[in-house]
């Protein structure tokens, strides 16, 4: 069976997740307009360093204003564009999005990703807040044991980490949800915690 992630890992060897993300985004520079070129350059620099310009209370990364200014539709395209988006480049080929909300229940997450596990992701601008209906869906999914996130542009490096490995989404003894591999475990700050919100905001 042709495994996109295995092919990607073979192609890129031992590159770090950050460097891989940098290469993916830097590759779009040639066909971008001036504003997008500045954005791609900023993303590539951040991803290759694995750092950012500063940190807000709770430890979440802050980045250049040009990233903060992205519209949700633009942010969605940068992650899920079928040709150069981060998710398909990391093997997430099955991605669901409700194109027309008429007739659908309000608040359902923006994207459902399927590969070796299922992820529900709500996308917001860096200063965006989920609506009550969106919170209800995220709370319900998280309480049912689903892997649900609220992602903002400042979370780019973390998103690359979440999507790059074949993590197992598990519950710890104390009830927390974490991502675990054979060698390590990881607690994403953008993970939605039922009744509390994002992990970084719930512990801030």
Helix axes 17-26, 34-49, angle to 10 degrees: 170
List the domains of the chain with CATH numbers: 4-202 (3.40.1350.10)
Token digits for 148?
């649900």
Q: Measure the CA dihedral 70/61/184/110, to 10°.
A: -30
- Please, which residues have CB within 8 angstroms of residue 48's CB and are 6 or more apart in sequence? 18, 19, 22
Provide mean pLDDT across the span 20-34.
51
Backbone angles phi, psi at 9, to 5 degrees: -65, -40
* pTM confidence score: 0.70
pLDDT in tens, 152-196: 988 988 999 999 889 999 988 888 899 999 889 999 999 999 999
Please say whether the beta carbons of 84 and 28 come within 8 A. Answer: yes
DSSP result, 16-27? -HHHHHHHHHHT
CA atoms within 13 A on the CB side of 56: 12
Whether residue 7 is predicted with pLDDT greater than 60 in this model: the reply is no
The first and second tokens of residue 196, run together, are 């509390």
Residue 155 to residue 4: CA distance in whole angstroms? 24
């Amino acid at each position: 069976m042709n495994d996109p992630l295995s092919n990607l890992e073979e192609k890129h060897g031992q590159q770090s997740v950050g460097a891989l993300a940098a290469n993916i985004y830097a590759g779009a520079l040639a066909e971008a307009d001036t504003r997008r070129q500045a954005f791609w350059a900023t993303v590539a620099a951040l991803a290759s360093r694995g750092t950012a310009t500063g940190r807000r209370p709770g430890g979440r990364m802050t980045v250049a204003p040009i990233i903060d200014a992205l519209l949700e539709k633009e942010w969605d395209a940068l992650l899920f564009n079928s040709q150069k988006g981060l998710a398909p480049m990391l093997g997430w080929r099955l991605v669901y999005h409700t194109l027309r909300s008429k007739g659908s229940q309000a608040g359902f997450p923006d994207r459902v990703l399927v590969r070796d596990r299922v992820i529900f992701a709500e996308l917001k601008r860096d200063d965006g807040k989920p609506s009550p209906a969106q919170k209800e869906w995220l709370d319900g999914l998280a309480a049912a044991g689903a892997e649900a996130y609220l992602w903002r542009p400042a979370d780019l490096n973390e998103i690359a980490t979440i999507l790059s490995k074949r993590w197992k989404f598990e519950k710890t003894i104390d009830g927390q949800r974490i991502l675990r591999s054979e060698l390590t475990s990881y607690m994403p700050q953008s993970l939605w915690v039922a009744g509390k919100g994002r992990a970084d905001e719930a512990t801030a």
